[in-house]
Structure 1
Amino acid sequence: MTGQIVFDPLLPWPLIAVLGALAAAGVALALWRGLPGWALRFAAAVVLVAALAQPSFQEEDRAALSDIVLMLVDQSASQDLGDRMDTTAAAAETMEARLAARPNTEVRRIEVGDGEGDSGTLLMTALTEALAEEPRGRIAGIFLLSDGRLHDLDRAPDLPAPLHLLLSGRDTDWDRRLIVRNAPAFAILGEPVTLTLRIEDEGAAPGATETALQISVDGGAPQQVTVPVGQDVDLPVTLPHGGLNVIQFTTPNAEGELTDRNNTALVQINGVRDRLRVLLVSGEPHAGSRTWRNLLKSDSSVDLVHFTILRPPEKQDGVPVTELSLIAFPTRELFLEKIEDFDLIIFDRYKRRGILPAIYLDNVRNYVETGGAVLVAAGPDFASADSLFRSPLGEVLPAEPTARVLGEGFRPQVTELGERHPVTAGLTGADSWGRWMRQIEVTPRDSAEVVMAGPEDRPLLVLDRVGEGRVALLASDQAWLWSRGFEGGGPQLELLRRLAHWMMKEPELEEEALWAEATGQSMRIIRRTLEEGVGEVTVTRPDGTEETVTLSEVAPGRFEATYQGPEIGLYRLTEGEQETVIGLGPAAPREFEQTIASAEALEPVLDSMRGGTARIEEGLPTIRAVGAGRPAAGRGWLGITPREAYETMDVTRLPLLPPWLVLLLAAGFIVGAWLREGRREGRRA
């Protein structure tokens, strides 16, 4: 039971103050004039002003509430290192028993595991949620049993009581970790890219100065080099192919280190071409020639050399030979000496006229067989006696002309095979495409792939592989009509872009391909094929175990499945002859980036309420009660602040100035003042 005087004024306090000031002024005037009843007037004023304040004696029936101590136990992955989990669990049981044995004290034990995904240890988030569920006025102390490696320090709440850390781990712990300082997302094929790595020893390390480093690309045989410890190392790497390259760096597990989970780093770099070098040979000026040139020049990554025959040799108009051109075109240099420098050669309505000798065209054929790419955009010249097919280059062309030129209008159509081929797959809306007005009738070779057709399913776009190279034949010179928007136009830019990239052997346009797209620890497995179906994909996990995944067809020639990786690391996918690798998540999870137990990160939060740190291996501290604002930690002890919280069960109020008493006292003092002053005036009279 406790009692106190409280006020419940009838009027606002400022107004009561004004009335009190007026009453004091009246009393002062009476005193100045020498009226004998000024004291009684003062007493009456005091009673009336006090009545307006309504004083009461309040008595509360209180029930004492217990103090609450929060104890957060870290059970994240880093606590599994060494004997941390066992020593932390034993320490938690002992501390809980000690705290619960204190009078008027309750313990709230909260176990904190790993955050979702790779978010790490979220101790401050768990503490904020725990504080939100308890009355802050009852929190007497907070204890964290952890290795101190948390990843949400920026979410630290405003603390109502001292925070202490009971640190797991041992003083003799040490660990080696591999850090990738710099790794670009893209790199140019054929040019070395520099990756910066660092191998660090933390804790009570043995003091090694160098260690081995293994490097493997796409899961291949590793190469081993020796690198220094504690220094940045620049490693030049040349990507072996375009598209995604997965590079794995590993340093062997050293004796005595805490874990090898942070001894590996995965770097995924996309290989891109620096410049696409294209040689465009136009047999004669025509509307499509400018379209080809504008298309290729619009891409800043394309280096174009355009060789155009403006005046055919058979034209006889008496112009001296020395005036036929401003400069001599370097045909020998282009077609013999530097032909290997080009990524793609395009023949646009070209026919044999003696300008390019047969030896030059034979060299182009050899260029294709050794890995080059040739695209022929055929016009009526391809069906003539001077056709490019009737040159040494004809041995590698994918189709033979029948000498027939079809002059009727038609709408290009994607064939059944073309719906699955990456060059033409997804080019929808053929019914709304504009017509072309001419097609050269050709007969495709047995090995060729017809992905687009004209009237009566005649081959229009024919693709083939020859040796190490690729060739394509577009049996029409009317594609430029699409770029002009004739009858609605068509996807000329996208078609030719895909065609060029397929001929450049870009991985995303391979007919038979297997790859995966990673999101966190899940991946979308994608298999593209020209066949009607595919087999199961064998997934080899980082630990070497295997399982199979069945794919479902989501589009013609495209099969997919979603796979959830049970662990972080490098996965190998295999289906038939197709094979690829993919990295899920970081090679070293966030929990294992830094593994040495340390209170350094928590020191600002601990200091805010004068809390402290104690190592579990050195023995558990005793618990003391300390006053608010006083140091809450010392040698061998940690403190909690008793809150003396209570719950009010009942409240009783007794007015100190009931109305009848106010009326009686005020009237008595006023009448007394009047009578006294009246007698004095009577004696004077």
Structure 2
Amino acid sequence: MGSVIFDPLLPMPVLWAAAGLAVLFVAFAVWRGLSGWWLRGLAAAALLAAVANPSLQQEDREPLTDIVILVVDESASQRIADREAQVADAVAAIESEIAGLENTELRVVRFGDAEDDQGTLLMTALSEAMAEEPRARLAGAMLLTDGRLHDVERAPNLPAPLHVLLTGREDDWDRRLVVENAPAFAIIDEEVTLSLRLEDQGAVPAGEGGTAPLRIAVDGGEPQEFQVPVGETLELPLTLTHGGANVIQFVTPEAEGELTDRNNAAVVQINGVRDRLRVLLVSGEPHAGERTWRNLLKSDSSVDLVHFTILRPPEKQDGVPVTELSLIAFPTRELFLDKIDEFDLIIFDRYKRRGILPSIYLDNVRQYVEDGGAVLVAAGPDFASASSLFRSPLGEILPGAPTSRVIEEGFLPQLTDLGEKHPVTAGLPEMAPPGEEEGDPGWGRWFRQVELDELAGNTVMQGVNDGPLLLLDRVGEGRVALLGSDHAWLWTRGFEGGGPQLELLRRLAHWMMKEPELDEEALVASAEGQTMTILRRTLSDEVGDVEVTGPDGTVTMVPLEEVAPGRFQAEYQGPEIGLYRLAEGDQEAVIALGPAAPKEFEQTVASGEALRPVAETTEGGVATVEDGVPDIRQVREGRPAAGRGWIGITPRQAYLTADVTVTPLVPAWLFLLIAAALTVGAWLREGRR
């Protein structure tokens, strides 16, 4: 391809100045009445043209193909019904149509689900595809999608038509379960309200709507079914019965003809917490360790403490009139008969039988434990005496029996093999500085131990001659702990370096109040994204594989690896969102992976309304592929690029310049000859006159 260019021999300002002088000289000739003025003007023009140096530029061009981008949406909503088949057929048809166009190439870009439940990032995929191609060659772009995108605000500026090819069918409809409001935390045994709704989308067939069944299951238990109205917000009252994670699953069965059941279920996880923990502390007589128990329980803002100390036992006869006493009478009947069920934990600290609590009251305490309560006995010398609590109805549930011997010598409390695994005592040595000798836990000595015979439960700490020091047991629905020493307070005072006494007593109290994180036998799972961390706590030396049942019923066996004494752990990558059931031995757990309502399934009926304004600004259009892909034509830039049964692309006529040749249009000597001839002609014409 050739074109005329000018390559001046002098700078352009000089050339313009010369042109001005030539005009002045010609004007002067006209003013003087010279008949050859026009010949003089032509001679000056010839000289100026010679200086301007007109040249013929010829380019050797290689034409470049036009590029059409096809962005294929392969997100989760494109895998429902027969949309995958529609996509495959449409891609094949577009490839065939583009192959039939001259000088045109097709770029196919596919993308799937975005991370972190961001939905369909269609415009992001289009922008990235455009960045890979020269803008001057872009003849058009097509989006093969259901139109349900979540980044329409990121639409790029296109130099060519954009067309939307919609999958799906005209009679598609779907039902969706929406959880509108669900708290992350709730108080145990108090009613909390969840808000949810069933909604229908698309071309709902006659007979659907009205009411639909809703099944509700808590912690993977047997679901309960209710008939609920469709399209109305439901207020669902719920009462949590245990602490820790409570997993509530809502399911509405798949209706005939609806697109998918992936949005017919929702899983809500609510963490159950106790409002206030009520603790009754009964101290038999004042001693150095009494304040330790009180400080521990008062320092926890979630604990309501009722504390009584027996300062004036019945046998004390000092002649002081009752009216002169400022002591509070011990409300035995009110505490141990009428309101005993209101307490989460009862602690007997160096308490012995003195006739204050009749046997019927202590028998009521025993029944309270078997019904789900908790009792902790912190034993002093009184526990080895004839008035010991063990020699009362309470002794039937205590895990250790006193031998009547009290050992008064220094000793280091040690964890037993079970104690290294039990959540109440596991890891306690790590909270103290290293001991002087290998194997020492690094804490101070105690100086009194009540010798015990183990009757039941688990011994987690031992003292003199490896005798039981701390015993834990489950009785009926409740729990019992027996601490065979009243010298734990020495750790708090920092004697010989002290020890983790507050942590030990805190764990002990919370284990007895059935806090889930301190259960010795437990199967726990936590999730981050689609990665599940499985933890198995046990007092056994080994455990089996965990059976993981996915939302679709697929069963996977996951082996566990010991990471600490009594703690086995594994990670499992969940293949899909939904509720997973875990089982190992007699331990079971449920956990939900992914969001309660995935973004991909919030809207499943195909629609081009969100993309129509973007397409129309580029002269493009929106078409469905239900009956086939529209014909693809080439149209001129600026003309409408969509019509009934067809869509258009704009040829760009881009090229690559391989070589450039510049040749003077007229030789310099010819310009000089023309200028001389014109000058001589002017002279002859004027001389003849």
Instruction: Give TM-score scaled by structure 1 length.
Output: 0.86
Distance 2:268 2:353 in 1: 51
> How far did 1:417 drift?
0.8
Distance 2:585 2:8 in 1: 89
Secondary structure of the 2:291 match is helix
Residues 154-169 of structure 1 mapped to structure 2, 5 A cutoff: 154-169=153-168
Q: Which moved more, 1:417-426 or 1:88-97?
A: 88-97
Task: Please name the residue that 1:643 is paired with.
Answer: 652
Residues 93-112 of structure 1 mapped to structure 2, 5 A cutoff: 93-112=92-111
> How far did 1:151 drift?
3.8
Deviations 1:256-297 (A, max 9, x none): 111222111112222221111111112233332222222211
* Residue identity matched to 2:462: A
Residues 131-530 of structure 1 mapped to structure 2, 5 A cutoff: 131-206=130-205, 207-312=208-313, 318-325=319-326, 327-429=328-430, 431-432=434-435, 433-530=442-539
Q: 8 Å contact 2:381–2:406 — kept in the other structure? A: yes
Secondary structure of the 2:226 match is strand
Change (3 A) 1:5 1:535: same
Change (3 A) 1:65 1:216: same
Distance 1:161 1:128 in 2: 14
> How far did 1:371 drift?
1.3
Secondary structure of the 1:443 match is strand
> How far did 1:76 drift?
3.5
Change (3 A) 1:317 1:47: farther
Distance 1:197 1:357 in 2: 53
Distance 2:102 2:88 in 1: 24
Deviations 1:156-193 (A, max 9, x none): 33323221101111111111111111122222211122
Structure 2 unaligned runs (5+)? 33-39, 436-441, 680-689
Distance 1:660 1:414 in 2: 113
Change (3 A) 1:310 1:660: farther
Secondary structure of the 2:387 match is coil
Change (3 A) 1:587 1:410: same
Task: Please name the residue that 1:2 is paired with.
Answer: 2
> How far did 1:498 drift?
1.7
Change (3 A) 1:57 1:492: farther
Q: Which moved more, 1:450-459 or 1:586-595?
A: 586-595
Task: Please name the residue that 1:595 is paired with.
Answer: 604
Q: 8 Å contact 1:407–1:439 — kept in the other structure? A: yes
Identity %: 68
Distance 1:655 1:484 in 2: 106
* Residue identity matched to 1:632: A
> How far did 1:532 drift?
1.8
Distance 2:382 2:9 in 1: 109
| Alignment length (residue pairs) | 658
Q: 8 Å contact 2:444–2:499 — kept in the other structure? A: no
Task: Please name the residue that 1:76 is paired with.
Answer: 75
Deviations 1:353-378 (A, max 9, x none): 33333333232222112211011222
Tell me if 1:130 matches 2:129.
Answer: yes
Q: 8 Å contact 2:186–2:272 — kept in the other structure? A: yes
Task: Please name the residue that 2:632 is paired with.
Answer: 623
* Residue identity matched to 2:141: I
Tell me if 1:537 matches 2:537.
Answer: no
Q: 8 Å contact 1:261–1:588 — kept in the other structure? A: no
1:549 to 548, 554, 558: 558
Distance 1:6 1:248 in 2: 81
> How far did 1:577 drift?
2.0
Distance 1:507 1:205 in 2: 46
Q: Which moved more, 1:323-332 or 1:473-482?
A: 323-332
Deviations 1:524-544 (A, max 9, x none): 332222122223333333333
* Residue identity matched to 1:481: L
* Residue identity matched to 2:64: L
Deviations 1:506-559 (A, max 9, x none): 222222222322333342332222122223333333333434333232221222
Q: 8 Å contact 1:60–1:651 — kept in the other structure? A: yes
Change (3 A) 1:108 1:232: same
Task: Please name the residue that 2:591 is paired with.
Answer: 582
Change (3 A) 1:356 1:89: same
* Residue identity matched to 2:565: P
Distance 2:109 2:584 in 1: 47
Residues 28-107 of structure 1 mapped to structure 2, 5 A cutoff: 58-107=57-106
Secondary structure of the 1:385 match is coil
Q: Which moved more, 1:64-73 or 1:600-609?
A: 600-609
Structure 1 unaligned runs (5+)? 673-685
